[in-house]
Amino acid sequence: MDANRFDLGGGEPIIILDDVAKSYWRETLEIPVLQGIDLEIPRGSYIALMGPSGSGKTTLLNLIAGIDRPTGGSLEVCGHHLNGLDDDELAAWRNLHVGFIFQNYNLVPVLNAFENVELPLLLTGAGRGERRDRVEEALALVNLTDRMFNYPRQLSGGQEQRVAIARAIVTNPDLLVADEPTGALDAKNAEEVLGLMERLNAELGKTIVMVTHDPKAAHHARHQIHLEKGVLDRTVEVNR
Amino acid sequence: MILGLLIVLPVVAYLAWLVWALVAYPIPLGYNLRSLWQRKVSSLSTAAAIALVVGIFVVVLSLAQGLSIAFVSSGRADQALVLRPNARFELNSSIERDRMRILKVHPLIKRDAEGFMASAEVVVVKLFPMADGTDTNVTVRGLERRGIGLRPQVRLVQGRWFRPGLSEVVVPRKMQGRFPGMDLGRHLRMGGRDWLIVGTFDAGGASYESEVWSDVNDIMQAFRRESYSALLVRLESPERLEGFAKAVEEDKRLKLEVVQETAYFKELTKAGDPIKVLGNLITLILTGAAIFAAMNTMYAAVAGRTKEIGTLRALGFRQREILASFQWESIFLCLTGGLLGSGLALFANGIQTGTTSFDTFADVSFAFTITPGLMAQGVAFSLVMGLLGGFLPAWRASRIPLTEAMKGG
Ligand SMILES: Nc1ncnc2c1ncn2[C@@H]1O[C@H](COP(=O)(O)OP(=O)(O)O)[C@@H](O)[C@H]1O
Ligand SMILES: [Mg+2]
């Protein structure tokens, strides 16, 4: 294992965090969760963000994915300064640039696999035919073509997570964020999902930021970075 | 006026936006319908509660409508009732025979080939047994043959009109269902005599449909009345009314009060007001409860889907899209109830009912009819409930933080 001073390899950065901070207030008491986060992630990276529970991993991922706003510093992700976007612009930006993979899959229970994957496309103005083609393509990629019209309750956890991955890539975003994507899966299904994510990175060139506290999962990423009490560890582990 | 506009304008704008959202926003309605179905038990019980309220609302509406037809359609502007001063109603009034003799040939009363267009009448109240075994007060009206013609809405349906001196009566067709033994050819027992039913009539929903009619002298004899109740007269025109009223009131031999027939019935309609007020009150309370039920159901639905909503927002759906979606979900929930309730009310269609007219203590019968218009009002009412009950939960849904999507559990 090779320890470098914060070198995630060369290339054009897709995520640039400059002195990012996030605090919560309990009445007048400021509770800092993230402090002085400087981070540049090159396009095409596959980063595992590690750290103990409560260290701020999810908070940091939320900031990168534009579903939360920092209390200090600035973020530039996928070519946009997120601080400058209003809520609607940020929503459109997420739809276009970010794919979400959640620990609990977060599929809509009343929609079948096809409809779940189609959801983000409804916002793009793509026609019915184009939507169908893209949903089928995404479901084929995760190897669930035969489960297209199944509802989430009819799928196993691993299958649900693969549907969620199909939903995350259906709009062809540059960036995938995943918060403990294998946290709810058994070892076999976890391997399958992690293998799929590796392929998305290697074959489709997706930049992936994955939060995990599982070292086995982290090993699938190309780099591991560590968060400790809201501060980024200056060392980077390179897996491959 | 300005205040009203300030309230109405945003509501109309909001409604217009909702309709537009239905077409333009990407979250399909099917998502909401299926979500409602997902929570069948709570959705259906809420819809049932709303159905009940809408059903009651429609029936109350039709009762109120039936009541005003029963009274208002009874009057003519060129006709008047002469009553004892301050009597207000025929039942409280009395006019002695000598006064009536003078009054009946008053020069201001309209005349035709048959003479003065006036009918001296007596009104008594008699307890009748109803088909369901209970007793109710029924107005018995004694009138002159002339009096029938003064009520153009009254129409003979069966048999013939009564003849004087023979103890004959005619009964409203609508009363036949509610009271036993009112068939043609049978006898009614009242005032110590048997009265032969010789005809049935219809009065187009007017209050006469709850009166038994016979000859004025027969009734006065049988009930031992020394005086008449009132005189119904027709004048040359409505404009002559004031002059006639002045003449009758100032004539020392008469000193009687003249009330325009339309005004008289309007006054009588107020007898239905307590029913309307009660009906409105009940409807109001039930409506509040129904809105609360809808709100509760929607709050529960939103709370149960916090993560789902956060996820939709993360995927790029905007706050207003979530707001519209949940507002429609609530509207559809209530609309289901509204359609059910209107259908329920339809079952009551045409059922005869009676209400005791508070001032005259006599039974007024009328049919309540559920018209398509009333049903549409019921459905619109449920829409309003969906709008009101759903707004706050939908608002809350739209404000759910996106970070909820990431939370475990
Ligand atoms: N909405 C919030 N309000 C207050 N504190 C919060 C909120 N969200 C997260 N925190 C706190 O921030 C810290 C980091 O949380 P999180 O990013 O979820 O940690 P991790 O994902 O590393 O387990 C925790 O101490 C947590 O209690
Ligand atoms: Mg976390």
Half-sphere exposure of B362 (CA within 13 A, CB side): 22
Task: Count CB atoms within 10 A of the CB of residue B22.
Answer: 16
B114 within some domain: yes
Q: From the CA of A227, give the closest atom in ligand 1.
A: 22
What ipTM goes with this model? 0.95
Based on the domain organization, do B127 and B201 belong to the same domain? Answer: yes
Integer Cα distance of B290 and B255 in angstroms: 56
**Inter-chain residue contact A106 with B307, CB threshold 8 Å:** yes
Based on the domain organization, do B111 and B169 belong to the same domain? Answer: yes
Average pLDDT of the segment spanning A227-240: 85
Residue at token pair 């003449």: B247
Q: Which of B26, B318, B406 sits opposite A179 (nearest CB)?
A: B406
Here the CATH number for the domain that contains residue A68 is 3.40.50.300
B219 touches chain A (CB under 8 A): no
Based on the domain organization, do B90 and B228 belong to the same domain? Answer: yes
A36 within some domain: no
**Choice between A187 and B65, residue whose per-residue pLDDT is larger:** A187
Average pLDDT of the segment spanning A144-166: 97
Based on the domain organization, do B118 and B32 belong to the same domain? Answer: no
The H or E element containing residue B171 is strand B168-172
Instruction: Give pLDDT, residue B72.
Output: 53
Domain count, chain A: 1
Domain boundary among B234, B254, B287: B234
Distance A237 CA to ligand 2 centre (A): 21
Could you tell me the pLDDT band of residue A4, with boundaries at 50, 70 and 90? very low
Q: Which of A87, A109, A119 sits opposite B315 (nearest CB)?
A: A119
DSSP code string of B92-129: G--EEHHHHHHHTT-TTS-EETTEE-EEEEEEEEEEEE
Mutation for A interface: B309, B311, B318, B329, most A CBs within 10 A: B311
| Domain region containing B133 | 79-234
| Domain region containing A66 | 44-73+83-237
Which residue intervals of A100-186 are DSSP H helices? Answer: 113-118, 128-141, 157-169
Q: What is the pLDDT along chain B (409 residues), one digit of tens a residue?
A: 788 888 889 889 999 999 999 999 999 889 999 999 999 999 999 999 999 999 988 888 777 766 655 555 578 889 999 999 988 888 889 999 999 999 999 999 999 998 999 999 999 988 887 777 777 778 899 999 999 999 988 999 999 999 999 999 999 988 887 788 889 999 998 888 999 999 999 887 777 888 999 999 999 999 999 999 999 999 999 999 999 999 999 988 888 999 999 888 877 767 667 777 877 888 889 889 999 999 999 999 999 999 999 999 999 999 999 999 999 999 999 999 999 999 888 776 555 455 555 444 455 555 566 778 888 989 999 999 999 999 999 999 999 999 999 987 5
**Inter-chain residue contact A106 with B308, CB threshold 8 Å:** yes
Domain boundary among B234, B261, B293: B234
Residue at token pair 């007269």: B233
Contact (CB, 8 A) for B332 and B29: yes
Instruction: Give pLDDT, residue B2.
Output: 80
Could you tell me the pLDDT band of residue A100, with boundaries at 50, 70 and 90? very high
Integer Cα distance of B111 and B93 in angstroms: 25
Instruction: Give pLDDT, residue B125.
Output: 87
Residue A1 has pLDDT above 60, yes or no: no
B28 touches chain A (CB under 8 A): yes
Domain count, chain B: 2
**Choice between B371 and A49, residue whose per-residue pLDDT is larger:** A49
Instruction: Fill in the DSSP letter of residue B186.
Output: -
**Choice between B286 and A3, residue whose per-residue pLDDT is larger:** B286
Based on the domain organization, do B194 and B98 belong to the same domain? Answer: yes
B312 within some domain: yes
Integer Cα distance of B209 and B200 in angstroms: 10
Residue nearest atom 25 of ligand 1, based on CA coordinates: A54
B348 within some domain: yes
Could you tell me the pLDDT band of residue A46, with boundaries at 50, 70 and 90? very high
Question: Would you say how long chain A is, in residues?
Answer: 240
Contacts of B12 (CB under 8 A, 6+ apart): none
A158 within some domain: yes
A184 within some domain: yes
Contact (CB, 8 A) for B403 and B311: no
Q: Quick one: which of B214, B172, B130 has its CA closest to B366?
A: B172
What residue in A sits closest to B404 (Cα-Cα)?
Answer: A67
Contact (CB, 8 A) for B165 and B136: no
Based on the domain organization, do B213 and B278 belong to the same domain? Answer: no
A96 within some domain: yes
A16 within some domain: no
